[in-house]
Amino acid sequence: MELVKDLPEVFEEFAEQRKNSFLAVKELKDQGVPVIGVYCTYFPQEIVMAMGAATVSLCSTSDETVAAAEKTLPKNLCPLIKSSYGFGETDKCPYFYFSDLVVGETTCDGKKKMYEYMADFKPVYVMELPNRQSEMGLKLFREEMIRFKEYLEKMFNREITEDAIRDAIKTNNAARRALRGLYEVMRSDPTPISGHDLFKVLYGSTFKFDRAKIPAEIDEVVQQIKDDEAKGNERKSKPRILITGCPIGGATEKVIKIIEDRGAVVVTYENCTGAKAIDKLVDEEEEDVYLALAKRYLEIGCSVMTPNPHRYELLGRLIDEYQVEGVVEVILQACHTYNVESGKVRDFVKNEKNIPYISVETDYSSADVGQLDTRLSAFIEML
C-alpha cells in the first residue's frame, strides 16, 4: 500500500479485501499451505500460525444462502448460523471450499448443532469452550489448546513446537497493536475519519492471510490519517456512538450507514469485529504458552459466558476513552444469548455510565431498513 493513494481509495481497498483474497486462498492451496476456516473470535490463531497454515474467516454475513439453509435448519434460527451453513452447503463461499478444516466452538446451542450438520460434508473440529471464566474453565481451555494442537499435528502430519507458538504470539500481538492504533484515532473530536471507514479496515484486515504484514500496512494507514488530519481540513463534531452486540459485517453494515447518514459518527465497536477481537494481547512472558493463550482468549467478553464481567469492563472503558454519547446494541433475530443479556447491558449503560442506550433487532435482509432508520434517527435527534 502506498501513501500516494487517497484515503478513500485506501478504505475501499480494505472493503474489497474479502473478494480480493479469493484468488490468494487458491494460491495458498496450490502451494500446499493448509487452510483453516473459522467463525469465532475465541479461535486461537497462534496455534495454526505456528503450523505454517493460513486462517480465514468464513462467509456468514449475507442472506444469499439463507433460503438454502432453511431446507435443513429451522427458519426461526439466527441468520448468522443459517448464512454460515448455507454458504458451506452450497459451495458459494470460496473460503469454505478451499478450507481443509473448519474449526468451530461450543458457544451457542445453534452453532453447536449446526456444526453437526456441517460435518456431513466438511471436516469439522469443535473446540470445547468453557461457559464460565473461572479457574476450572481456564484449566479446561488450556487442555483444549493442547488437544487442538495435537489434532492438527496428526491431521496435517506437521509438528507444532512451543517456540513456533511463541513466535506466532509475538507476530499476532504486533498485528493487534497496530489495529488498536488504528481504532484509537477515533478518540479525537471531531473524528478524522468516519466509523464506516474504520470498520472497512478492521473487517478487511481479517482477510489478510500473512499476519506479519499487517502492522506495516496499518501503520501506513494511521500515518496517512494523521497527516490528513494535520492539514486542518474542517470537520464537524457529531454525536459519538458506540456499537455493541452481535457480530456485524456485510448485511448488518446497514446499521452503521443509517447512524452516520443521520448525522452521528460511530467512534468505536465493542463487538467481535472491533475492540473485542484485538483489545487483549497474549502474555509473551508466560512460560506456559498454552496457559498464555487460554488466558487471553477466555477473557473475551461474549454473552455465552455466565457471568460476563469482561464485556462490561471493556464497554465501560470504551465509553470513557472515546467520549461516547450513546450506545447502540445490534441484536440478530433469534440470537438468544445476546438478547437475554441486553437488559443488563442497558442497565449498565444507562445507570452506571449515565448515557442513552437503544437496542435494535435485525437480520440480513433489507426489509427493515425503514424501521431502523426511523428508530435510530429519533435516537440520534435525542442526543
Per-residue pLDDT, 235: 85
Task: For residues 47-74, give the mean pLDDT.
Answer: 96
Does pLDDT of 4 surpass 60? no
Is the Cα dihedral 206, 202, 283, 141 positive or negative? Answer: negative
Cell of 253: 453494515
Task: For residues 126-132, give the mean pLDDT.
Answer: 97
Per-residue pLDDT, 380: 98
DSSP string, 326-350: EEEEEEETT-HHHHHHHHHHHHIII
Q: Which whole-number Å values give the CA distances from 232 to 89, 194, 219, 225, 235, in the listed order?
A: 51, 16, 21, 12, 8
Per-residue pLDDT, 335: 96
Per residue in 238-282, pLDDT (tens digit) is 999 999 999 999 999 999 999 999 999 999 999 998 999 999 999
Q: Helix/strand/coil (H, E, C) string of 49-66?
A: HHCCCEEEECCCCCCCCH
Per-residue pLDDT, 232: 75
Nearest to 152 by CA among 290, 56, 32, 49: 49
Rg (CA), the chain: 20
Per residue in 88-101, pLDDT (tens digit) is 999 999 999 999 99
Nearest to 56 by CA among 15, 105, 93, 109: 93
Is the Cα dihedral 214, 216, 220, 222 positive or negative? Answer: positive
Domain boundaries, the chain: 7-162
d(CA 219, CA 224): 9
d(CA 208, CA 221): 15
Task: For residues 117-127, give the mean pLDDT.
Answer: 98
Per residue in 152-180, pLDDT (tens digit) is 999 999 999 999 999 999 999 999 999 99
CB 94 within 8 A of CB 22: yes
Length, in residues, of the chain: 383
Does pLDDT of 5 surpass 80? no
DSSP string, 67-119: HHHTTTS-TTS-HHHHHHHHHHHHT--HHHHH-SEEEEES-SHHHHHHHHHHT
Per residue in 274-313, pLDDT (tens digit) is 999 999 999 999 999 999 999 999 999 999 999 999 999 9
d(CA 367, CA 370): 8
| Phi, psi dihedral angles at 93 (to 5 degrees) | -110, 110
Please report which confidence band the pLDDT of residue 6 belongs to, taking 50, 70 and 90 as the band edges. confident
Per-residue pLDDT, 3: 40
Answer yes or no: CATH 3.40.50.1110 is held by domain 7-162: no
Per-residue pLDDT, 101: 98
Does pLDDT of 2 surpass 60? no
How does the average pLDDT of the chain come out, rounded? Answer: 95
Cell of 383: 442526543
Cell of 212: 506479519
d(CA 56, CA 69): 21
